Structure 1
Amino acid sequence: MKSAACTVEILPNNEAAVLFDEKQSAPTPGQVAVIYDGDLVAGGGIIRKTF
C-alpha cells in the first residue's frame, strides 16, 4: 500500500483509530500499519479491523 494522508485518534487500551482522508481498499486485518511524520516513524501496530 502506498502512502496515504490520515488522522490518528488515540484510544483507550493502547489502541488507535486511523482515519484516512480518502477511501482505501488495501488495509486488511493482520497486516502491519506504520505511521510516519515525514521521515520519522511516529508509530505502528497490527490492523485489527477495518470499516
Structure 2
Amino acid sequence: MFLGDSVTDVQAGRAAGVAVVGVAEEEGRRHELLAAGAAGAVDGVDALVSPR
C-alpha cells in the first residue's frame, strides 16, 4: 500500500502496481485523488493507524 497526497502520488503508485490511499483533509482534494485512481481516501494518516 502506498499513501499519497497528490494526483502524481496516485499515478506513481498505480504505475508501480500497488494500491494507493489518498490522504487529504479537504473533501474536494479527496475526490481528486479518487478520480485519479486511488483505492480510497482518508482525512489523515491517523485514520489508518491506531494511536498508542
Query: Common fold, TM-score beyond 0.5?
Result: no
- Indicate the TM-score class for this superposition, using the shorter chain for normalisation: under 0.3
Q: Which structure is higher in strand share?
A: 1
Q: Which has the higher contact order (CA 8 A, sep 6+)?
A: 2
Question: Structure 2 length normalisation: TM-score?
Answer: 0.25
Q: Which structure is higher in helix share?
A: 2
Question: Structure 1 length normalisation: TM-score?
Answer: 0.25
